[in-house]
Amino acid sequence: MDWLILAIISAFLLAFEQILQKNVLEKEHSLEFTISMFGFISLILVPNFLFMDYSAINSLSFALIGIRSILIASGFLMFTKALRHLDLSVSAPISNLSSVIVLILSFLFLGDRLSLGQLLGVFLIIFGTYSLQLNRKHSFFEPLKVFYKSKYFHYSLLSISFFGVSAILTKYLFIISNVRPFDYLHLSFLIGFLFLLFCYRFTGYPYKLILKDARKAGLIIPLISLFEIGSMFVYLTAVAIPGAMIALIIPIRRLSTLLDVIIGGRLLHETNLLSKTVSTTIILLGVFVLVL
């Protein structure tokens, strides 16, 4: 059961990463932080150029990696914008909606069939997400007003949409090519970093501001970058183990959102943690039903 241990480790690494992200974003701007993180990850992965399997990367696979990189960079930027202004105990569980996006896109574009169990999973995820904003002092329909009016919830929805499309591209790429997952991860962050740098020039701010913010954050951004690489590497290693049950690895890794609510919520002194824990548990149950 080595894959089970690795999946749990991946969940903890991802949870600690997002707790640190929330801490940094209390002081730093989202775009500068995202560029710094993508830059550090790209720098850490530079040695992989010596071991990369270039023969597996043709023009089509490189184009798909490029598109996926832009989606991931954009999705991560939207996520950090939402995380900066929403409670971690709200923004983290909402990210589980990406499973619903992936399911719908797989049905529309990859020909996957929807089962009754998957529809039940979708219902549980949506209901759990909705209940995150339920409050005894307000009506049952109050969350609809919050979702409609809050631009930070809109950022969250944009983020999971970008991540959902990127997941479909990833699935398609691994079907048609032999690109190694770690090479794929490396190129995605590098191209995403270059894309974000290109976008930054249109803000009118000097590039040195990115370096200034990175220095001000100290060692936290490099630490977050290591958590991200570690979480993804451990996850990919778990998936690659013969006999690994991917249907269980995915919801186990999603336990990071529950850890964010319980641990991160307490550390950051957020409110209504009990009800948010129940809502997140419902969401995770939906993810589990969805992937079975």
The sign of the CA dihedral 130, 166, 184, 79 is negative
Decide: 66 and 191 in contact? Cβ < 8 Å: yes
Q: Record the pTM.
A: 0.86
Q: 184-198, pLDDT tens digit by residue?
A: 889 999 999 999 999
The residue type found at 252 is I
The residue segments making up the domain with residue 181 are 2-291
Q: Give the pLDDT score at 130.
A: 81
Q: 122-160, pLDDT tens digit by residue?
A: 889 888 888 876 665 656 666 667 677 778 888 998 998
Residues 239-262: what's their mean pLDDT? 78
Q: Give the pLDDT score at 188.
A: 93
Q: Give the pLDDT score at 69.
A: 95
270, 263, 247, 238: which is closest to 10 by C-alpha?
A: 238
Average pLDDT, the chain: 86
Q: Give the pLDDT score at 247.
A: 61
Q: 180-232, pLDDT tens digit by residue?
A: 888 988 999 999 999 999 999 988 888 888 888 888 878 899 999 999 999 98
**DSSP conformation class of 57:** -
Max CA pair span of the chain: 61
pLDDT greater than 80 at residue 57? yes
Decide: 290 and 149 in contact? Cβ < 8 Å: no
Q: Give the pLDDT score at 2.
A: 78
Determine the Cα–Cα distance for residues 191 and 202; give it in Å rounded to an integer: 18
Decide: 152 and 8 in contact? Cβ < 8 Å: no
Total domains in the chain come to 1
Report residue 120 as tokens: 């039940």
Report residue 258 as tokens: 């529950």
Q: Give the pLDDT score at 146.
A: 66
Residues 74-93: what's their mean pLDDT? 89
Determine the Cα–Cα distance for residues 154 and 149; give it in Å rounded to an integer: 9
Determine the Cα–Cα distance for residues 161 and 12; give it in Å rounded to an integer: 24
The sign of the CA dihedral 242, 7, 164, 80 is negative
Q: Which residue has the higher pLDDT, 46 or 96?
A: 46
Determine the Cα–Cα distance for residues 269 and 21; give it in Å rounded to an integer: 16
